[in-house]
Structure 1
Amino acid sequence: MRTWLVTGGAGFIGSWLVERLLAAGDSVRVLDDFSTGTPDNLPRHDGLRIIEGDICDTGLVASHMADCDGCFHLAAVASVVRSFEDWAETHRVNALGTVTVLEQALRAGIPVVAASSAAVYGIPTAVPQEEDAQVDPLSPYGLDKLAGERHAQLMAGHGLKACAMRFFNVYGPRQDPKSPYSGVISIFADRALQGGPLVIDGAGDQTRDFIYVTDVTAALVLAMRFLMQAGTGGRFEVFNVCGGTETSISTLAAAVIAATESPADIEYGPARTGDIPRSLGAPARAAARLGFRADTPLEQGLRSLAAALAGGA
Structure 2
Amino acid sequence: MNFPSLENKKVLVTGGAGFIGSNLCEFLLTQKAKVVCLDNFSTGHKHNLTAFYEDENFKLIEGDIRDLETCQEACKGIDFILHQAALGSVPRSINDPITTSQVNIDGFLNMLVAARDQSVKRFVYAASSSTYGDSESLPKVEDKIGKPLSPYAITKYVNELYADIFHRTYGLDTIGLRYFNVFGRKQDPNGAYAAVIPKFVIQFMNYESPIINGDGTYSRDFTYIDNVIQMNMRAITTTNKEALNQVYNTAVGDRITITSMAEDLRSFLSKYDKKIEKVEILHGPNRAGDIPHSLASIDKAKTKLAYVPTHRFSEGLQKAVEWYWENLK
Structure 1 equivalent of residue 249 of structure 2: 240
Q: TM-score, normalised by structure 2?
A: 0.90
Structure 1 equivalent of residue 61 of structure 2: 51
Q: Which shifted more, 264-273 or 104-113?
A: 264-273
* Alignment pair present for 1:26 and 2:4: no
For residues 97-124 of structure 1, the C-alpha deviation after alignment (integer angstroms, 9 at most, x for no partner) is: 0011111112222210000101111122
Contact 2:140–2:297 at 8 Å: present in 1 too? yes
Which of residues 281, 291, 295 is equivalent to 2:306? Answer: 291
| Counterpart Cα distance in 1 of 2:167 and 2:287 | 39
| Counterpart Cα distance in 1 of 2:186 and 2:246 | 29
Q: How many residues align?
A: 310
Which of residues 186, 190, 203 is equivalent to 2:202? Answer: 190
Structure 1 equivalent of residue 144 of structure 2: 133
Structure 2 equivalent of residue 5 of structure 1: 12
Which of residues 249, 254, 271 is equivalent to 2:258? Answer: 249
| Counterpart Cα distance in 1 of 2:289 and 2:223 | 23
| Counterpart Cα distance in 2 of 1:84 and 1:274 | 8
Query: How big is the shift at 1:14?
Result: 0.1
| Counterpart Cα distance in 2 of 1:127 and 1:271 | 21
| Counterpart Cα distance in 2 of 1:121 and 1:108 | 32
Structure 1 SS opposite 2:241: coil
Which of residues 220, 230, 240 is equivalent to 2:241? Answer: 230
Contact 2:39–2:85 at 8 Å: present in 1 too? yes
Structure 2 equivalent of residue 152 of structure 1: 163
Query: How big is the shift at 1:173?
Result: 1.8
Query: How big is the shift at 1:274?
Result: 4.6
Long gaps (5+) in structure 2: 1-7, 271-275
Structure 2 equivalent of residue 303 of structure 1: 318
Residue 249 of structure 2 aligns with an amino acid whose one-letter code is: N
Contact 1:127–1:280 at 8 Å: present in 2 too? yes
Which of residues 63, 67, 73 is equivalent to 2:73? Answer: 63
Structure 2 equivalent of residue 213 of structure 1: 225
Residue 78 of structure 1 aligns with an amino acid whose one-letter code is: G
| Counterpart Cα distance in 1 of 2:14 and 2:95 | 23
Aligned CA distance change for structure 1 residues 98 and 19 (closer, same or farther; 3 Å): same
Structure 1 equivalent of residue 184 of structure 2: 172
| Counterpart Cα distance in 2 of 1:301 and 1:73 | 24
Query: How big is the shift at 1:190?
Result: 1.4
Task: Report matched runs for 1:112-131 at 5 Å.
Answer: 112-131=123-142
Q: TM-score, normalised by structure 1?
A: 0.95
Residue 99 of structure 2 aligns with an amino acid whose one-letter code is: E
Q: Which shifted more, 42-51 or 238-247?
A: 42-51
For residues 233-271 of structure 1, the C-alpha deviation after alignment (integer angstroms, 9 at most, x for no partner) is: x95110000111010011111110111112222222233
Query: How big is the shift at 1:72?
Result: 0.7
* Alignment pair present for 1:105 and 2:120: no
Structure 2 equivalent of residue 37 of structure 1: 44
| Counterpart Cα distance in 1 of 2:240 and 2:35 | 20
Structure 2 SS opposite 1:312: helix
Contact 1:156–1:235 at 8 Å: present in 2 too? no
Contact 1:124–1:279 at 8 Å: present in 2 too? no
Residue 144 of structure 2 aligns with an amino acid whose one-letter code is: A
Long gaps (5+) in structure 1: none
Contact 1:124–1:278 at 8 Å: present in 2 too? no
Residue 84 of structure 2 aligns with an amino acid whose one-letter code is: L
Contact 2:91–2:289 at 8 Å: present in 1 too? no
| Counterpart Cα distance in 2 of 1:6 and 1:197 | 36
Contact 2:180–2:222 at 8 Å: present in 1 too? yes
| Counterpart Cα distance in 2 of 1:79 and 1:150 | 20
Query: How big is the shift at 1:294?
Result: 1.9
Structure 1 SS opposite 2:245: strand
| Counterpart Cα distance in 2 of 1:270 and 1:177 | 21
**RMSD of aligned Cα (Å):** 1.6
Contact 1:212–1:301 at 8 Å: present in 2 too? yes
Contact 1:259–1:299 at 8 Å: present in 2 too? no
| Counterpart Cα distance in 2 of 1:68 and 1:279 | 35
Contact 1:159–1:235 at 8 Å: present in 2 too? no
Structure 1 equivalent of residue 84 of structure 2: 74
Contact 1:202–1:269 at 8 Å: present in 2 too? yes
